[in-house]
């Protein structure tokens, strides 16, 4: 399995024009990081898909074709962007709570805790009935059986995962539910009888698009003044990595992205800085009627509604896909979740590392390397890949809206991405590949002056010959901006 074949699968699944693949080149081979999985192919293919979709969107607007290139070394640096972030030449960011990690249980199993949010950590300690320190938590877990503790934590709405091997995962009902789903879905969510319902131009300054066929004007060397997504407005209701990466990707191709956070919701500061590049940031508390009304008002001038809450969580506030398709015909609604939109685990809280643990990825990595404890991937690959797939799906849906009309729902999940990564096969000695230090990627970084200080961050991985990706706004503290597109 090569990166290009993986890209072909993504492109074909979305129903995109296969001849567009002539305009992209992917460079590099696995292993680029110490892993038995084809993480480099995953990075190249998903970043390449989003980049090529941006180029196609630009071609439809302007008639201009361009070259797209992604080098695996750059793609893998982007997949570790939070790890390489530096502020004012300071130390590496602290991204993990001390209690986050693997713990051995009474029956010789391993369970992973995810305690990066204070309320999750407090809940775990309370359920275990122990002191709030690593030694006490370890001792308490050694008195519990793995499967029963895993279920108890899930029932309490906490974040943990029993480490399973791939066969154990495959035997679960959730794995069976995911097996019925493709890697992602892009579906129309309104009645298709009226072809003009929701039809919208490709951008507010783009007219109705300039070219629908492949015989577009080559602009393979010159830089275009028009950016692919200029005029596209995105409401980004996401936190941590996968969703924010999707919004950041749309921003680097010219979209006006408004990050919407509740002032009461927890965040991780380095991730806000890394993934906030290119975005405005506003506070809206959706528990309050007036602030829900403000979001509805913003929706009227938005093109994309990006959210990463658990399936159905926003419906109670009036922001389900169906409700927004009625309120704003032509909306592109993007849903990101952990374990998939269907199945008994659909409501289970999850993060990238937990999906790795539950689905057999962490077990497989440990078996290959011969380590006694489970072993995660060398990056948050499921998060980043899912984020790029979400951005790709949003751009494909926007193109369909322009040509077919309609409102669209894009659905992705970490577990579906993980399942696909596992299907790409493994490299027996991939875990022996050397790790990639900060010094080895300094030439791939860019410096941005921000309210947080001078930020050194990984630059966009893709190269587009006519519309180079860039960030027009620096990262800002949460809630910096007013909730208005005109501000």
Residue-wise over 133-153: b if at least 16 C-beta within 10 A, else e? eeeebeebbeebebeebbeeb
Which residue, among 481, 441, 482, 456, has the nearest Cα to 74 in the 3D structure? 441
Of 190 and 301, the one with more pLDDT:
301
Decide if 471 is inside a domain. no
Percent of the chain with pLDDT over 90: 92
Helix (H) or strand (E) holding 82: helix 81-84
Confidence class of residue 226 from pLDDT cuts 50, 70 and 90?
A: confident
Q: Is residue 336 located within the same domain as residue 444?
A: yes
The verdict on 123 and 191 lying in the same domain is no
Q: What is the pLDDT of residue 225?
A: 65
The closest of 448, 392, 413 to 276, measured between CA atoms, is 448
Cβ density class 206-237: b for 16+ within 10 Å, e for less:
beebbeeeeebeebeeeebebbbbbbbbbbbb
Cα–Cα distance measured from residue 366 to residue 131, given in angstroms and rounded to the nearest whole number: 30
Residues 6 or more apart whose CB falls under 8 angstroms from that of 12 comprise 18
Tell me the pLDDT tens digit for each residue of 106-122: 999 999 999 999 999 99
Q: Which helix (H) or strand (E) holds 238?
A: none
Q: State the pLDDT confidence band at 241, using cuts at 50, 70 and 90.
A: very high
Domain range holding 80?
3-95+171-464
Q: Flag whether 263 is in a domain.
A: yes
CB-hemisphere CA count at 13 Å for 42? Answer: 35
CA atoms of 121 and 114, how far apart (whole Å):
8
Let me know whether 441 and 380 are in one domain.
Answer: yes
Q: Sheet harboring 279-283: ordered strands across?
A: 185-188, 408-413, 332-337, 304-307, 233-237, 256-261, 279-283
pLDDT digits (tens, 9 = 90+) for 212-225: 455 556 665 466 66
* pLDDT at 210 (0 to 100): 46
In a domain, 254, yes or no: yes
pLDDT at 429 over 80: yes
User: Does residue 188 surpass a pLDDT of 70?
Assistant: yes
482 located within any domain = no
- Could you report the per-residue pLDDT of 322-369, keeping only the tens digit for each? 999 999 999 999 999 999 999 999 999 999 999 999 999 999 999 999
Q: What is the CATH number of the domain that holds 182?
A: 3.40.50.10540
User: Which residue reads 């059986």 in tokens?
Assistant: 145
Domain count, the chain: 2
Q: Write the pLDDT tens digit of every residue in 128-173.
A: 999 999 999 999 999 999 999 999 999 999 999 999 999 999 999 9
Q: How far apart are the C-alpha atoms of 58 and 316, rounded to whole Å?
A: 37
Alpha helix segments (H runs only) across 19-68: 39-62
Same domain, 400 and 422: yes
Residues 6+ apart with CB under 8 A from 454: 87, 88, 89, 447, 448
Say whether pLDDT at 203 is over 80.
Answer: no
Asked if pLDDT for residue 237 goes beyond 70, the answer is yes
CA distance 354 to 215: 46
Whether 393 and 454 map to the same domain: the answer is yes
Residue 207 pLDDT greater than 50, yes or no = no
Q: What is the mean pLDDT of the chain?
A: 94
135 and 176 together in one domain? no
* Same domain (yes/no): 134, 259: no
Looking at the fold, whether 45 and 132 belong to one and the same domain comes out as: no
CA distances, 274 to each of 88, 249, 448 (Å) = 14, 12, 11
């Amino acid at each position: 399995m090569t990166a290009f074949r993986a890209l072909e699968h993504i492109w074909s699944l979305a129903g995109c024009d296969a001849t567009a693949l002539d305009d992209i080149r992917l460079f590099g081979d696995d292993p680029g990081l110490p892993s038995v999985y084809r993480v480099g192919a995953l990075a190249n293919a998903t970043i390449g898909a989003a980049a090529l979709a941006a180029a196609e969107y630009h071609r439809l607007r302007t008639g201009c074709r361009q070259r797209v290139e992604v080098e695996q070394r750059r793609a893998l640096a982007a997949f570790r962007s939070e790890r390489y972030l530096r502020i004012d030449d300071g130390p590496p960011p602290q991204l993990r709570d001390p209690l986050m990690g693997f713990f051995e249980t009474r029956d010789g199993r391993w369970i992973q805790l995810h305690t990066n949010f204070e309320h999750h950590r407090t809940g775990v300690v309370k359920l275990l009935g122990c002191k709030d320190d690593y030694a006490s938590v370890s001792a308490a877990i050694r008195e519990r059986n793995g499967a029963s503790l895993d279920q108890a934590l899930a029932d309490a709405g906490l974040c943990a995962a029993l480490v399973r091997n791939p066969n154990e995962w495959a035997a679960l009902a959730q794995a069976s539910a995911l097996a019925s789903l493709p890697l992602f879905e892009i579906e129309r969510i309104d009645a298709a009888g009226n072809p003009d319902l929701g039809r919208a131009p490709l951008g507010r300054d783009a007219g109705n698009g300039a070219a629908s066929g492949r015989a577009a004007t080559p602009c393979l060397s010159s830089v275009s003044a028009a950016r692919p997504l200029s005029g596209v407005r995105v409401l980004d209701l996401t936190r941590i990595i996968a969703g924010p990466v999707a919004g950041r990707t749309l921003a680097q191709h010219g979209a006006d992205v408004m990050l919407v956070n509740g002032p009461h919701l927890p965040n991780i500061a380095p991730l806000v800085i890394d993934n906030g590049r290119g975005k405005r940031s506003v506070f809206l508390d959706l528990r309050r009627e007036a602030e829900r009304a403000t979001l509805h008002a913003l929706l009227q001038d938005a093109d994309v509604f990006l959210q990463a809450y658990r399936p159905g969580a926003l419906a109670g506030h009036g922001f389900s896909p169906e409700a927004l398709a009625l309120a704003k015909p032509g909306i592109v609604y993007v849903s990101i979740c952990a374990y998939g939109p269907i199945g008994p685990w659909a409501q289970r809280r999850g993060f990238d590392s937990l999906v790795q643990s539950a689905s057999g990825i962490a077990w497989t990595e440990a078996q290959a390397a011969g380590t006694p404890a489970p072993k995660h991937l060398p990056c948050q690959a499921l998060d980043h890949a899912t984020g790029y797939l979400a951005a790709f799906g949003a751009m494909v849906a926007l193109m369909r809206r322009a040509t077919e009309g309609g409102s669209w729902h894009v659905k992705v999940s970490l577990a579906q991405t993980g399942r696909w990564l596992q299907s790409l096969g493994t490299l027996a000695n991939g875990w022996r590949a050397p790790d990639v230090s900060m010094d080895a990627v300094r030439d791939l970084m860019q410096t941005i002056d921000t309210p947080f200080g001078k930020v050194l961050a990984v630059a966009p991985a893709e190269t587009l010959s006519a519309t180079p990706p860039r960030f027009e706004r620096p990262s800002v503290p949460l809630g910096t901006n007013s909730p208005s597109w005109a501000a």
